[in-house]
Every structure is written in C-alpha cells, then in structure tokens.
C-alpha cells in the first residue's frame, strides 16, 4: 500500500506539471487568436486581451485583480493596405509593411533607385528636381539610409526635397514596428523586400493611416498575498502586440508576447495554490510595443513602493527552443544573478545563461533605471525567433520548450533568495 501511495503521488505530480503546460498552451493559443486582432491599439484588440487576462487571473485564484488605466497617442493602419510594383501586386506583411510613424499614401509614383556605390548627396538632390523624378519614391537599403541619416532627414522634410516618400529594403520576412508610432512624419516610409522592388520603375500605393490621440489602455495587476507584506516579488510580461496592418491582416504575436503573458498567468496560479512568504504581484503590461508606455506609467505610479520589490522577473518571448537562455540584469540584481547561475548549474535547465547588456528593449528597463533588482528573460535565436515582429509569429509556429525551465528557474529562485 505504501508503494502504491508513493506511485500515486508521483503520478499526481506529473499530472500537475502536464496541467500547467496545458494551461500555458491554452492561454498562448487564445491570445494569438483572431479574436484579439494582434492585441494592438485599435479595434480594441489590446483591451479585449486585457479583459480576458482579468478573468484568467481570477480563475487562477489570486486574492486581488485591478486595472491601471493610462493613455497613449498612436498611429495605426486599419484601413486600405495595397501596393503594387510595375503592376505586380505585393502582399502586405510579406512583401511590404509600413514604418510605424508613416502617414497614409495614395497614388502612383516613379521610383528613384539610389546609387549607393557612388553616392553623392548633391547629385541626389539635383536628380530629384528633374521632372521625371518629382513626386517619386526614393529607394535604397534601410541601413544605407541609417548610415546617411543626415541626408535622409533632409529628404524626409516636406520642404527638403520634392520626393513623395521612401521605399526602404529589408530582408525577408519583412517586419513591422510600433515603438515610435506616437507621431506622424511628413512623408510615407514603406518597408519592402529587395526582391519586391528590384529594378521597378513605378509603384502604386493605397494605404490608410489613422492617428489616435489619448487612446485608453490599461495594465492588469494580480496579487497573491504572502505571509509578509513588507516586501514583494513582481512578475511582469507585456500582453499587447502590433495589431493590424490593413483591414484583414493582424500580427498574432504567439511568441511576442503571448508566451511570456501565459507564463505569469500560470505562475499566479502556482502561488495561489502554494502560499508564498512574501506578497506576489503579477503585472500584465500594455503599451510595451509603443515604447514601454505601460511599464513606464507603472514605474511612475507604482501601487507598491518600488523599494519594497525584492526582485522583479520580466518574461518576454520565451516561446522558443534555444538551449541557451538570454537575460539582462539590473545593477542591483547582480547579486541575484549569481543565484540564478547556481540554480541553473544544479538543475541543468539551460546549457547556459547568456547575460547581455542592459537595454531599453522590454518592460524591465523602467524598473532597472529606478534601482529595482530585476532580470529580463528572453529566449533568442531559436526556431521561433526568426519570426519576431512578422506575420509568421503565430500559433502554427509556436514553440514551448523554454516554458518549463523558465518556470522552474524563477520559482526555485524565489524559494532560495
């Protein structure tokens, strides 16, 4: 009977782990579904996802769920989204996308291909004054424009040159961003694959934009009460993503960041069942893809004093399979990083923890700037990472290898820190 009881407990433990992974997958699949239209800042996508997460946290058995509202100004593309090159139709999100701060653009335009090998700004500006190139789309590789940004800043101004806009080439799969969508430039900028515009003489564009002012978003905050209330742990992940590119296309964001959001939901369920020593906060941020607006707002308006945070875990894009786990650590979090490495070495969760330079690339950064001990966990360079910020980051390409080792790494850390 004793052996049977031990076996039963062992099988029950395995079942609990399987249920966690099942729950995790369920949340990832839900958040990346068409219902939320890429969890963007239009069509109520992000806010619908936030309401879903409120319900999930409550179902997890947490003690408290609150929402923290804030607003942003953001440029969106939910209307017409058509482009053709020399009469050939191009596919939005595959052959082209829009720079986030681009205005809409409508019409047919000649194409001016910059000679990057013999580049002369004076020749460029003189050519653009010629009748055949007036109202043209200036075309070159994106990094070339970045290296010569002083020249291109002049071109971008409506009074700087008579070109209509820009086609910047970027390798496939083409990406889409929202970080600098809080303003709109004078001239449109279109990302295109090199193959789509190689040698073309004219392009036709029919693209709508809508600039939204004071668009209402909210962070979702769940709390599990511990035995002590003088300190706390904080688990964060952003649930927003890129939303729409045109009327039909949306960016599902299964890895970025349904994967991290689902992780903090299951962590909340874990700590609701296994009461911790300290209070636990689980914060699903919105506005991350709009330049960390949700986490910055929280850091400026915290519901718990920042100095009471023992450690903050920011989980972003862990839906991948690289055996090496990328991370960034704040200066105040380095003592904790030694424990992370020790745990990883003992448990063999990842081959290594690859610590990179601290950067403003996710929601840990506003806290790191304010002296909070924190770590950013992101699984890079696996099979899913190639689809980052593309239409292919969807349920079909979802990967789940990193979830359980990340879960074990952070929960073991909390037990021993």
Report helix, strand or coil for 189.
strand
Nearest to 206 by CA among 44, 42, 96, 128: 96
The verdict on 243 and 228 lying in the same domain is yes
Distance CA 358, CA 331 (A): 9
Residues 372/306, Cβ–Cβ less than 8 Å: yes
- pLDDT tens for each residue of 87-131: 999 999 999 999 999 999 999 999 999 999 999 999 999 999 999
Last residue of a domain, one of 188, 207, 226: 207
Same domain as 202, residue 267 = no
How many CB atoms are located within 10 Å of the residue 311 CB?
25
- pLDDT classification of 11: cutoffs 50, 70, 90: very low
Q: What percent of the chain has pLDDT over 90?
A: 93
Q: What is the pLDDT of residues 229-281, one digit of tens each?
A: 999 999 999 999 999 999 999 999 999 999 999 999 999 999 999 999 999 99
Considering the domain architecture, whether residues 54 and 85 belong to the same structural domain is answered as no
The answer as to whether 13 is a domain residue is no
Q: What is the pLDDT of residue 20?
A: 87
Report the domain count for the chain: 2
**Residue 384: predicted pLDDT:** 95
Residue 34 in domain:
yes
357-405 confidence digits (pLDDT tens): 999 999 999 999 999 999 999 999 999 999 999 999 999 999 999 999 9
pLDDT at 51 over 90: yes
Handedness of CA 273, 276, 278, 281 (dihedral sign): negative
| Same domain membership, residue 92 and residue 65 | no
Q: Is the pLDDT of residue 193 over 70?
A: yes
The closest alpha carbon to 311, from 338, 330, 284, belongs to 330
- Contacts of residue 50, Cβ cutoff 8 Å, sequence gap at least 6: 67, 217, 218, 220, 239, 284, 286
In a domain, residue 1? The reply is no
Q: Which residue has the higher pLDDT, 5 or 147?
A: 147
Among the candidates 183, 207, 231, a domain finishes at 207
Q: Domain range spanning residue 252?
A: 27-74+213-416
pLDDT value at residue 18: 39
């Amino acid at each position: 009977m004793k052996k049977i009881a031990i076996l039963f407990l062992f099988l029950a433990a395995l079942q609990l782990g399987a249920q966690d992974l099942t729950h995790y997958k369920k949340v990832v699949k839900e958040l990346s579904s068409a219902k939320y239209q890429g969890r963007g800042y239009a069509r109520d996508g992000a806010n619908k996802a936030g309401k879903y997460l409120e319900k999930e946290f409550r179902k997890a058995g947490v003690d408290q769920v609150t929402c923290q509202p804030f607003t942003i100004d953001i440029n969106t593309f939910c209307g017409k989204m058509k482009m053709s090159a020399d009469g050939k139709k191009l596919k939005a999100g595959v052959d082209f996308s829009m720079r986030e701060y681009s205005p809409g653009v409508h019409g047919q335009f000649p194409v001016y291909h910059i000679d990057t090998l013999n580049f002369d700004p004076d020749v460029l500006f003189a050519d653009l004054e010629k009748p055949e190139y007036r109202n043209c789309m200036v075309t070159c590789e994106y990094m070339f424009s970045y290296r010569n940004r002083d020249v291109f800043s002049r071109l971008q101004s409506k009074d700087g040159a008579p070109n209509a806009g820009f086609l910047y080439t970027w390798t496939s799969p083409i990406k889409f961003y929202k970080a600098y969508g809080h303003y709109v430039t004078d001239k449109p900028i279109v990302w295109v694959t090199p193959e789509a515009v190689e040698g073309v003489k004219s392009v036709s564009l029919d693209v709508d934009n809508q600039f939204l002012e004071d668009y209402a978003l909210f962070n979702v905050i769940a709390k599990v009460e511990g035995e002590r209330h003088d300190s706390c742990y904080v688990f964060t992940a952003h649930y927003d993503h890129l939303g729409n590119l045109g009327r039909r296309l949306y960016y599902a964001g299964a890895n970025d960041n349904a994967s991290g959001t689902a992780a903090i939901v299951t962590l909340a369920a874990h700590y609701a069942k296994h009461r911790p020593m300290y209070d636990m906060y689980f914060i699903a941020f919105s506005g991350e893809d709009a330049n960390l607006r949700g986490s910055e707002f929280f850091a400026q308006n915290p519901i718990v004093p920042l100095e009471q945070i023992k450690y903050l875990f920011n989980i972003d894009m862990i839906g991948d399979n690289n055996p090496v786990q990328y991370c960034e650590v704040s200066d105040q979090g380095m003592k904790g990083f030694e424990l992370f490495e020790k745990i990883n070495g003992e448990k063999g969760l990842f081959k290594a923890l690859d610590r990179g330079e601290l950067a403003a690339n996710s929601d840990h950064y506003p806290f790191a700037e304010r002296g909070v001990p924190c770590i950013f966990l992101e699984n890079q360079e696996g099979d899913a990472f190639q689809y980052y910020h593309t239409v292919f980051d969807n349920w079909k390409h979802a990967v789940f290898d990193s979830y359980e080792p990340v879960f074990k790494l952070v929960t073991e850390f909390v037990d021993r820190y």
